Amino acid sequence: MAMTITEKILAAHAGKKDVRPGELVDCSLDMVMANDITAPISIKEFEKVGATELFDGERVTFVLSHFVPTKDIRSAEQCGIVRQFARKHRMKYFFDEGRGGIEHILLPQEGLALPGDIVLGADSHSCTYGGLGCFSTGVGSTDLAAALITGRTWFKVPESMKFNFYGAARPWVTAKDMILHVIGLIGVDGATYRAMEFTGEAVRALSVDARLTLCNMAIEAGGKSGVVAPDETTLEYIKPRAKRAWKFYESDKDATYHSVHDIDMATLDLQVACPYSPDNVKPLDDVAGVDVDQVFIGSCTNARLEDLRIAASIMRGKKVAPYVRCIVIPATHEVFSQAMKEGLMQVFSDAGCAISEATCGPCLGGHNGVLGPEEVCVSTSNRNFPGRMGHPKAKVYLASPAVAAATAVVGRLARPEDVVGA
Amino acid sequence: MNLHGKAWKFGDNVDTDQIIPARYLVTSDAAELAEHCLEDTAPEFHKKVSVGDVMVGLKNFGCGSSREHAPIAIKGAGVSAVIAKSFARIFYRNSINLGLPLFETDAAERIAQNDILEINPITGEIKNLTKEETYQAQPLPPFAQEIMAAGGLMKYVAKQKGLRPR
């Protein structure tokens, strides 16, 4: 029977020859992940039912990412619960500040999420890992607590939607523009319960960093998962990092899809999601010139090394515009460290950016850049619902690192060409 | 046993950042979270909601982050069920796992603020006593009803694994 990559991975982990959309399957899990906000509830539930052992110490990762370095006493107490649990269980994969970062960048970086895996994460952006060719999805803390004990969970096999990007990308157009365009096309519930499969020559041409960005925002269309079939690019990325064996799957040519969307890269320009929804997507030129108070370059969506390189290439030798502030937060400590070595941090610092250790921070209105009423922010993050980055009257525009960097220099929503020329 | 309560009507895409803003994610205490449920975008809700009340949304209820604090806050506020045209996937799973019943039906559009509702949680039949109408929602799938009957996912898992809950 012809199957999609998603169906093949689910079938393999359910011990079945094939599966069909709509079928409920009980699957083994290759990696189970939680962060400082979701893990405390999982730990409480784990201990409440009398569990004493993790199902497999090599297949559980806890990452302190959201409120670190701890922002107040209560977040310190919450992180403390996770830190104590990690010590008690001698957890191999526990990442604290200074060594970790945002989980969705960290797990691929550390070779803990791999092609062919099923990864379950207590964070909605756990769909990110699909960029490596695995099935990966977000759940809540209780689902995760059960998974910590059993190493298994149930799934309804999702239908797949195919997004086929053909042609070559225009200058400065990146994976962020591709995924914003898709969300604008199908809406914030356009892929609910479904897997989003990204294919085509323009996807093949993307780096792993960019593929992770593409899959990261599947959840913003309601998607259960996002996936890019693994290839040579994937192999090169995982080889020096993988902590376990991996397996490549790909969709059969005659697999069945809920729908197929063909997108011509020649017509895709820079995209922006306007307040107050990630599907309120417009071509940048339609909203160019909007005055901004803050620019945020960070988050699990767009704070990988490649993103920082793009932003720095625009900000080099320039200054952040008067009365505008720009916050740069590399996604992981390794990205931070590498960006230092490459001189990118010097570029940001010279431009007058505020720079911080890796954290989710302002993306969810946590700390390090929370917005006040009526403030306007251009952010490389993933959500702009009312109150997401702070005050419910703050306005957030979601864009790529290239657009964010240009906007910081110009002080208004701008194209990279406005700063570096065409 | 049927659920009975007053409707609180909301629109499309009631997301988890609205249900419980991130600044309160420093606790998982149900009573404390309930005090801040929807406080930024529907400030009256947490002050006036009564035990048994029913939240009614339209499309994509519970979209956004995976925070279980959202259904915990709703349950903590005393809400007995949520009705919507559609639910976001993670919120749907979380609610089942915590024992918060959800009902999916296009008839959510017919329900107005303050309508008195009576819901049969097994069959998914919803009576709008104010409007004297009856709607049929999708009942929860059998395995989900099994989890709810066990008292949530963790009790279900504990039983399967022969663990002794504390």
Map tokens 């977000």 to a residue: A138
B65 part of contact set with chain A, CB < 8 Å: yes
User: Which of A188, A193, A224 to probe by mutation at the B interface, max B CB count within 10 Å?
Assistant: A188
Check residue B152 and give its pLDDT: 86
User: Which of A25, A26, A45 to probe by mutation at the B interface, max B CB count within 10 Å?
Assistant: A45
CATH superfamily of B3-139: Aconitase, domain 4 (3.20.19.10)
Largest distance between two CA atoms of chain B: 48
| Tens-digit pLDDT profile for residues B92-102 | 999 999 989 99
CATH of the domain at A229: 3.30.499.10
Same domain, A136 and A38: yes
Same domain, A149 and A182: yes
Which residue of A37, A146, A365 is in closest CB contact with B157? A146
Tally Cβ neighbours within 10 Å of residue A348: 26
- Record: contact A45-B154, CB cut-off 8 A: yes
- Indicate whether A421 belongs to any domain: no
| CA B127 to the chain's CA centroid | 17
Residues near A174 by Cβ (< 8 Å), separated by ≥ 6?
Answer: A210, A213, A310, A400, A401, A402
- Round to whole Å and give the CA distance between A10 and A18: 9
ipTM: 0.90
- Round to whole Å and give the CA distance between A118 and B109: 37
- Indicate whether A422 belongs to any domain: no
Query: Are A218 and A130 contacting, i.e. CB atoms less than 8 angstroms apart?
Result: yes
Which residue of B18, B164, B165 is in closest CB contact with A387? B18
Which residue of A44, A123, A154 is in closest CB contact with B28? A44
Residue A150 distance to chain B (closest CA, Å): 8
- Record: contact A142-B21, CB cut-off 8 A: no
Check residue A185 and give its pLDDT: 98
Check residue B29 and give its pLDDT: 94
User: If you write DSSP's letter for every residue of A67-112 in order, what string do you get?
Assistant: STTT-SHHHHHHHHHHHHHHHHTT-SEEE-TTT-B-HHHHHHHTT-
Same domain, A210 and A91: yes
Map tokens 């509830």 to a residue: A41
Residue A319 distance to chain B (closest CA, Å): 32
Give the percent of chain B with pLDDT over 70. 100
Confidence of residue B150 (pLDDT cuts 50, 70, 90): confident
- Record: contact B66-A40, CB cut-off 8 A: no
Confidence of residue B139 (pLDDT cuts 50, 70, 90): confident
Check residue B1 and give its pLDDT: 83
Same domain, A361 and A231: no
Mean pLDDT of B158-163: 87
| Tens-digit pLDDT profile for residues A375-393 | 999 999 999 999 999 999 9
B29 part of contact set with chain A, CB < 8 Å: no
Residue B85 distance to chain A (closest CA, Å): 12
Structural domain boundaries in chain B: 3-139
Same domain, A29 and A170: yes
| Residues of chain A under the 50 pLDDT cut | none
Check residue B144 and give its pLDDT: 83
Residue B147 has pLDDT above 90, yes or no: no
Check residue A154 and give its pLDDT: 92
Residues near A79 by Cβ (< 8 Å), separated by ≥ 6?
Answer: A36, A64, A67, A68, A70
- Record: contact A140-B94, CB cut-off 8 A: yes
Mean pLDDT of B128-155: 89
- Round to whole Å and give the CA distance between A132 and A212: 7
Residue B53 has pLDDT above 80, yes or no: yes
Same domain, A255 and A278: no
Check residue B52 and give its pLDDT: 97
- The token pair at A70 is 């701890």
Same domain, A72 and A111: yes
What is the total count of domains within chain A? Answer: 2
Confidence of residue B166 (pLDDT cuts 50, 70, 90): confident
Mean pLDDT of B122-126: 93
Residue B148 has pLDDT above 90, yes or no: no
User: Which of B16, B40, B68 to probe by mutation at the A interface, max A CB count within 10 Å?
Assistant: B68
Residues near A73 by Cβ (< 8 Å), separated by ≥ 6?
Answer: none
- The token pair at B23 is 């600044």
Same domain, A357 and A226: no
Domain carrying residue A327: 273-415
Indicate if the alpha-carbon torsion angle A87, A136, A213, A242 is positive or negative: positive
Same domain, A94 and A235: yes
Same domain, A219 and A278: no
